[in-house]
Copies of this chain bind each other. A is one copy, B any other.
Amino acid sequence: MSLKLTILGCHAALPRVNTNPTAQILEIKNKHFLIDCGEGTQVAMRKNKISFAKIQHIFISHLHGDHFFGLVGLISSLRLLNRKKELHIYGPPELENIIGIHFEASQSIIDFPLYFHHTQAIEKDIIYEDDKVEIQTIPLKHRIPTTGFLFKEKEGLRKLNIEAVEKNPEIQTCDYYNIKKGKDFIKENGEVIKNDLLTFSPNKPLSYAFCSDTSFNPEMIPQIHKVDLLYHESTFKQEHADVAHKTGHSTASEAATIAKKAKVERLVLGHFSNRYKELNSLLSEARAVFENVELAEEGKVFTID
C-alpha cells in the first residue's frame, strides 16, 4: 500500500512562469485523483508525465479561479483526444453550468460520459466510495462555499501467513480468499484453526487530507484526526495574519496548529501568496509548532508507504 501525491501547482492567485495555481494528483490504490485544476494544469500534467487517460475523477474545492480555471480546457482536451471513458467531477453546483455554457458556445458535443457530483460545504459528506477507497468532503471556512477532501483507504484483506498455511495440508488455494477475509478454517474433523494463526494484520490503511482554501478552522480536527498526510494552505506569514483573517486564509503557524491538534503524521504547506520571494520563513513558523512539516513545490512528489 502506498500513497503518492504529486504537486502540480501550490501557489495562490495568478499563474506565473515558474509557479502554478492549485492542482495536485493523488495516486492511491492504483487510482489517480486530480484535486483542483487551476489554469495551466493540463500542461503541468504533461510536464509531470501524468497520463490524461488515467484521470477519471476530478475534485474542485471551490470556485475561485486559481482552483478551477484549467478545468474547461482539460475537459476540452480530453474531448479532442477522443476520450471514451467516463469522467466524474465533484464540485460546487454552479460548476456544471459554467462548463456547460462553454461547450454550448463552441457548439461542441462532449462525446464521453461526463458526470457532475454537486458538493455542499455545510457538513461532511461521502462523495465517492469503491471497494478500496472512500472520499469525504471536509467543510472549510472561506469567503465562498469551499470543501477540502479526505481520501481514506479502506482496510485491505488480511495477509496470509504462508508458513502456517502450508503446515495445514487441508487448506487449499481456493480457501485463501475466505481466510484473507478473516474467517477461521474448519478442518474435516471439525477442528477450528483460528484466523489469527493463519494470517497477519493487513497494512494500516493510509489517508490524505487536502485543506485549501480555509481560515483557521478547528472544526475539521476530528475529521482529519491522525491522517498520514495533511496538505493545509498557509497563504501567509504571521506578520500578515490580519490579511489572512480578512481574506479567509491561514498562516503557516495556524496550519501547523491544526496538524498538531489533529495529531497528523506529516504536514505539507501550500497555497503560498505570490508576495513572498522566499518561503523558508513560512516553514520555520510552522516548524516551531509542528515538527514534521515540508513545503509543497511544483513537481514535488510526496510518497507514503
Question: Which residues of A line the B interface, CB within 8 A?
Answer: 13-17, 39-40, 42-43, 46-47, 63-65, 69-70, 72-73, 76-77, 80-81, 92, 94-95, 97-98, 101-102, 104-108, 143-144
Please report the C-alpha to C-alpha distance between residue A15 and residue B72 in the assembled complex, in whole angstroms. 13
A43 in contact with B42 (CB, 8 Å) = no
Query: In whole Å, how far is A161's beta carbon from the nearest beta carbon of chain B?
Result: 49
In the complex, what distance in Å separates the CA atom of A220 from the CA atom of B160?
A: 75
Query: A105 to chain B: which residues have CB within 8 Å?
Result: 63, 92, 94-95, 98, 144
Beyond A43-B40, A107-B143, whether A65 also contacts B14 by CB under 8 A is no
- Is there contact, CB below 8 Å, between B102 and A101? no
Please give the distance in Å from A238's CB to the nearest CB on chain B: 23
- Can you identify 16 A-B contacts, CB atoms within 8 angstroms? A14-B80, A15-B43, A15-B73, A16-B43, A17-B43, A17-B46, A17-B47, A39-B40, A39-B42, A39-B73, A63-B102, A63-B106, A69-B72, A69-B76, A69-B102, A106-B144
- What 6 A-B pairs have minimum CB-CB distances, sorted nearest first? A14-B77, A63-B105, A39-B73, A65-B76, A94-B105, A69-B73
Q: Is the CB of B144 within 8 A of A107?
A: yes
User: How many whole Å from A130's CB to the nearest CB in chain B?
Assistant: 30
Are B80 and A73 within 8 A (Cβ)?
Answer: no
A77: B residues at CB distance < 8 A: 13-15
A265 to B92, CA, bound (A): 52
A188 vs B110: C-alpha distance in the bound complex, in angstroms? Answer: 78
A248 CB to closest chain B CB (Å) equals 11
Contact partner of A65 (CB less than 8 A), chosen from B43, B69, B102, is B102
Which B residues lie within 8 Å of A98 (CB)? 101-102, 105
Name the residue among A17, A39, A72 with the largest chain B CB count within 10 angstroms. Answer: A39
Question: Which residues in B have their C-beta under 8 angstroms from that of A14?
Answer: 42, 73, 76-77, 80-81
